[in-house]
Amino acid sequence: MSKHQNEQTKFRTSIGGQALIEGILMRGPTKQAIAVNTPDGMVVKEEELRLNKDRNPVINWPIIRGIVIFVGSLVNGVKALSYSAELAADEETPQEPSKFEQWVEKHFGSETAAKFLVAVAVLFGIVLAVGLFFILPTVLVSPLTTVVPSHILRNLIEGAIRIVIFLIYLIGVSRTKDIKRVFAYHGAEHKTIFCYEKGQPLTVENVREQSRFHPRCGTSFLFVVLIIAILILSLVPWTTVWFRLVTRIVCLPIIVGVSYEINRWIGRHDNGFSRVIRSPGLWLQNFTTNEPDDSMIAVAIRALELVIPEEEGADKW
């Protein structure tokens, strides 16, 4: 593992971010902010967070909190992506809403239509991920039933296929032109958070010098999900293909919840074991992050500044 991947800081912030289309979303303890580069300059949007855990303590229980945070991140991420896409679009070439979007808006109103479209996008993303990374590997391994006697071994083979599909998908997507820019904003997000954690002034010059490989990244979380899926699903008996498909879908929330707890532990510890666990995720960031330009760094800095809590240390991981 390279030196920059081993680099750790004493202070670890709970602030996290997401790369958008020509922008970045930063989420702090009490609010989130979106900063987007547009043809007319930088546009910023702030909003207070509704903390459901304060109203329902059960949501903050281990495993359950990971599921809730994952779903919430999906919804917020899709909303932020949609918002950034609208801002970053060239005003000279506006895109007309599709017939489906026009029909929804006509029958349910613009506000309800927006919420409905976000729900559809989130549902489509979940269905695509489940189909590609869980259902497809299960179907591909089904012919091995009569060849490989051990159901544990068959499940391990299925898990290996799942990882291969994930890597092919990730590497393929990372080579497209538009996604390369999104991943450059992802790199800007990591660099800015590293700079903040080191206690350095948030300037473009200071951020530029930081590593783009951060141990508490969503990429690492996804890889942990794949590994935990192998371990949990290996305990499931090997029967009909339909039974296996159902059990994989039913077990998915548990897999996500357990993965979140492991990632949470990894983020709080820096020892030999935690470094081994997070090393695959750091390696994957070679594909999911790119070096940003100064305008991308400026966007990341602005978004982060807006969510840093007034009380020092209130965002400690």
Q: What pLDDT shows up at residue 19? A: 95
Q: What pLDDT shows up at residue 288? A: 94
Q: What pLDDT shows up at residue 142? A: 84
> Per-residue pLDDT for 128 more than 50?
yes
> Per-residue pLDDT for 107 more than 60?
no
CA distance 180 to 173: 9
Kindly state whether residue 159 falls inside one of the protein's structural domains: yes
Kindly state whether residue 314 falls inside one of the protein's structural domains: no
| Least confidently predicted of 49-53, 230-234, 273-277 | 49-53
> Per-residue pLDDT for 266 more than 90?
no
Are 185 and 292 in contact by the 8 Å Cβ rule? The answer is: yes
Kindly state whether residue 157 falls inside one of the protein's structural domains: yes
- Reported confidence tier of residue 115, pLDDT bands at 50, 70, 90: low
pLDDT, averaged across the chain: 84
Q: Count structural domains, the chain.
A: 1
The helix/strand/coil state of 39 is coil
Kindly state whether residue 267 falls inside one of the protein's structural domains: yes
Kindly state whether residue 315 falls inside one of the protein's structural domains: no
Kindly state whether residue 94 falls inside one of the protein's structural domains: yes
Q: Where are the beta strands (DSSP E) in the chain?
A: 16-20, 23-27, 31-38, 41-48
> Per-residue pLDDT for 94 more than 60?
no
For residue 295, the enclosing domain spans: 3-307
For residue 292, how many C-alpha atoms fall within 13 Å in the half-sphere facing its CB? Answer: 34
pLDDT tens, residue by residue, 220-258: 888 888 899 888 888 877 777 788 888 888 899 999 999
Kindly state whether residue 77 falls inside one of the protein's structural domains: yes
> Per-residue pLDDT for 3 more than 50?
no
CA distance 223 to 65: 19
- Reported confidence tier of residue 109, pLDDT bands at 50, 70, 90: low
User: Per-residue pLDDT averaged across 134-161, rounded?
Assistant: 85
Partners of residue 24 on adjacent β-strands = 19, 35
Are 34 and 303 in contact by the 8 Å Cβ rule? The answer is: yes
Q: What pLDDT shows up at residue 4? A: 42
- Reported confidence tier of residue 2, pLDDT bands at 50, 70, 90: very low
The helix/strand/coil state of 43 is strand
Kindly state whether residue 313 falls inside one of the protein's structural domains: no
The per-residue b/e assignment along 133-165, b for 16 or more CB within 10 angstroms, e otherwise, is: bbbebbeebeeeeeebeebeebbbbbbebbbeb
Distance from the Cα of residue 43 to its chain's centroid: 23
> Per-residue pLDDT for 63 more than 80?
yes
Tokens standing for residue 199: 């206690």
Residue given tokens 């991947």 in the structure block = 5
> Per-residue pLDDT for 8 more than 60?
no
Q: Angle at CA 181, nearest 5°, toward 167 and 6?
A: 60
pLDDT tens, residue by residue, 153-206: 888 898 999 999 999 999 999 999 889 999 999 999 999 999 999 999 999 999
